[in-house]
Amino acid sequence: MNHSTNGDSPAHDAGYGGGVVCASQPAPERRRRLVAILAGALAALMLALAVVDRVATGRVESRIATAFQNGMDTPEQPSVRVGGFPVLTQLADGTLRHVGITAHDLPADDSGRPVPVTELTVGLDELELADNAEVAHAHAVDATAFLSYEDVSNALGLEISQDTDPGRVKAVLTRPLVGEVTVSAAVSAASGNRVGFTDFHVIRGNLPVSAHRLLDKVFAEPIPLRNLPEGLRLRSVTPTATGLDAHFTGETVTYRPQSSST
């Protein structure tokens, strides 16, 4: 009897022990299934966060676009893009890393804003969010206003185009008995956010004294740029093939045209 008991015991123990080892090891299929479930859950969570972040981004972009259009009286809302991801953390901090605004056809009037702006691009770095969306407090603001030669020509009463010399434009003047006279003038940023035309000289034709006096009068007063967000300061003006690029900088910008007293 003792022999029988001793003989059965090792086999029984071995079988029991082997069963425990097998039960403690997940099958490869179970491991793969678990990894797939975890990966799917993580992907779903990331997708949900991305959707929420996109919704928040759309709302703040729409808010800025509406404030800009209302303040600047543009025919259409500008294009606004908030940079950086995620935007939710930026909103929580109260500061947006970078905001880009592109607006078209900023209107002009017949007095203080004689030249319409074909396109305005504004970049705002470290934009602080405020209750008043019409005022933008940023660490740095960089903007470029494009003025077409057609609009500049209408403002000056001369046909303006790019000159071959850098930083200069050509102006065509037609006078009775004199014909067509072409002069070259330097373009620069003048005080008070104005575009100045100086140092003009004849490059084609004969310029009588009367025509010279007329050009002196035309170029004496720089063109004011007042249909731009208040707070921008003109730094430079560059002639291009199709118009003038006016470069501005600033810090605090208000979405309304500058007053005529600026």
Of the two residues 37 and 141, the one the predictor is more confident about is: 141
The number of beta carbons lying within 10 Å of the beta carbon of residue 91 is 17
**pLDDT, tens digit, 9 for 90 and up, residues 240-260:** 999 999 999 999 999 988 765
Q: What pLDDT score was predicted for residue 262?
A: 42
Closest by CA to 211, choosing from 261, 158, 247, is: 158
Question: What is the helix, strand, coil percentage profile of the chain, to 5?
Answer: 35, 40, 25
- Residue 197 resides in a domain: yes
Which two three-digit tokens encode residue 45? 């969570």
Which ranges of 24-137 would DSSP assign to H, the alpha helix? 28-72, 87-93
| pLDDT band at residue 1 under the 50/70/90 scheme | low
Q: How far apart are CA 169 and CA 148, in angstroms?
A: 12
- Residue 29 resides in a domain: no
**Domain residues for 175?**
147-251
| pLDDT band at residue 225 under the 50/70/90 scheme | very high
User: Taking the mean position of all CA atoms in its chain, how far away is CA 56?
Assistant: 19
- Residue 188 resides in a domain: yes
**pLDDT, tens digit, 9 for 90 and up, residues 194-211:** 999 999 999 998 888 888
- Residue 135 resides in a domain: no
- Residue 182 resides in a domain: yes
Of the two residues 41 and 150, the one the predictor is more confident about is: 150
What is the pairing mode between strands 135-148 and 233-239? unpaired
- Residue 218 resides in a domain: yes
- Predicted confidence (pLDDT) at residue 152 exceeds the cutoff of 60: yes
- Residue 243 resides in a domain: yes
- Residue 175 resides in a domain: yes
Q: How far apart are CA 170 and CA 201, in angstroms?
A: 10
**pLDDT, tens digit, 9 for 90 and up, residues 47-100:** 667 778 788 899 999 999 999 999 998 999 999 999 988 999 999 999 999 999
Q: How far apart are CA 258 and CA 70, in angstroms?
A: 14
| Number of structural domains in the chain | 1
**Average pLDDT taken over every residue of the chain:** 85
Of the two residues 26 and 133, the one the predictor is more confident about is: 133
